[in-house]
Amino acid sequence: MSDSRRLRIAIQKSGRLSDDSIALLKAIGIKLNIRDRLLIAHSTNENIDLLRVRDDDIPGLVMDGVVDLGFIGENELEEKMLERQAAGKAADFEVLRRLDYGGCRLSIAVPNEFNYESVKSLEGKKVATTYPYLLERFFKESGVNAKAVMLTGSVEVAPRAGVADAICDLVSTGATLEANGLQEEEVIFRSKAVLIQRADGEISDEKQALINRLVPRIDGVIQAKE
């Protein structure tokens, strides 16, 4: 079992944020013994346990106080906040730092043959996405009547599969869109990685002291790169 006195930090197991998050933890002096198959990694020099999970689960783990800190993309964080608000559930957390990696944008893209002129071109269309709340908010703000179709993966194949007319997904290099014959048309959210902390008042003084010792080291690492 895990020791509740150890600080728990959640990071993405594999994906855009994993390598940079581990590199940052190492750069601030946390020694980690990460084995690929293991969900949990114990630090050998600090009272820290690392939980390696799907990025989508990280905001909820922090908001529910299952972990103390999380490294997460603002896109996942904002989506989870909107989801919890819609369900009338609490969404407490504190952003400790905005980080210098994990940059990407959430964009609407359409098949190359789609005659796109403006957001009005989406009127009455179906848009496949893993981020239905962010997408619905965009539709609302743009005054467009379109439908968000939730898919947890392979969003980029939805138009070809006849499941949707367009997609709304993360873009960084644009290679995925290009490979699937899709054209980026609207950026609806810009995201970077952030470090968040649970804000339920349940953190012990010892853990808070450790966090207060770690955060300035993160600032140091980021400044050294600038």
176 contacts which partner out of Zn ion, ligand PRP, none, CB within 5 to 8 A by kind? ligand PRP
Binding of ligand PRP at residue 174 (CB under 6 A)? Answer: yes
Phi-psi region of 148 (alpha: psi -120 to 50; beta: other; left: phi over 0): beta
- Which range in 35-43, 142-150, 165-173, 200-208 contacts ligand PRP by CB under 6 A? 165-173
From the list 101, 92, 106, 147, the residue with the least C-alpha distance to 124 is: 147
- Other C-beta atoms within 10 Å of 82: how many? 17
Residues in contact with Zn ion, counted by CB under 5 A, come to a total of 2
Asked if 173 interacts with ligand PRP (CB under 6 A), we say: yes
Closest by CA position to 107, among listed 38, 186, 29: 186
Only one of the segments 53-61, 168-176, 192-200, 214-222 lies at the binding site for Zn ion (rule: CB under 5 A); that segment is: 53-61
- CA geometry: angle 25, 29, 35, nearest 5 deg: 55
Q: Which stretch binds ligand PRP (CB under 6 A): 26-34, 137-145, 163-171, 199-207?
A: 163-171
Show contacts with ligand PRP in window 5-64 (CB under 6 A): 15-16, 55
174 DSSP 8-state letter: S
166 binds, among ligand PRP, Zn ion, none (CB under 5 to 8 A by kind): none
Closer CB to ligand PRP, 19 or 200, in the complex:
19
Distance CA 189, CA 82 (A): 14
- CA 56, 51, 201, 193 torsion-angle sign: negative
Q: Which does 173 bind (CB under 5 to 8 A by kind): Zn ion, ligand PRP, none?
A: ligand PRP
Footprint of Zn ion on this chain (CB under 5 A)?
55-56
Residues at the contact surface with ligand PRP, assessed by CB under 6 A: 15-16, 55, 169-176
